[in-house]
Amino acid sequence: MTAVAPNFGAVTASGELARVIGALLTITLVIAVGALVVCAVTWALTASTGHWHTAMRARTGVWVALGAAALAGAALACTNYFLGVGANL
């Protein structure tokens, strides 16, 4: 049986690619946390003033921002997991 593994040496700028991916992940997390804060404040303010439609939209925004932050945070762990599984095939 032949072992199949990813060939990261084939990419000439693999170090630069890792830095770019890390920077994009950081930007994504910062934006998701910012959206979470804005939506949570909007939800609180509109719920207290009686604007139920805007409060429902802000609540949806909170859940979407939480999901985006969780997916962005788990992206590296998932990638490492799948690379480990792929190396063992």
| CA–CA distance, 1 with 89 (Å, rounded to integer) | 9
Q: What is this structure's pTM?
A: 0.70
| CA–CA distance, 64 with 35 (Å, rounded to integer) | 9
DSSP annotation of 8: G
DSSP annotation of 9: G
| pLDDT single digits (tens) 24-70 | 888 988 999 999 999 999 999 999 999 999 999 999 999 999 999 88
More confident residue, 53 or 8: 53
| CA–CA distance, 76 with 82 (Å, rounded to integer) | 10
Q: How many other β-carbons are positioned within 10 Å of the β-carbon of residue 58?
A: 20
What pLDDT does 26 receive? 85
| pLDDT single digits (tens) 60-82 | 999 999 999 888 888 777 766 77
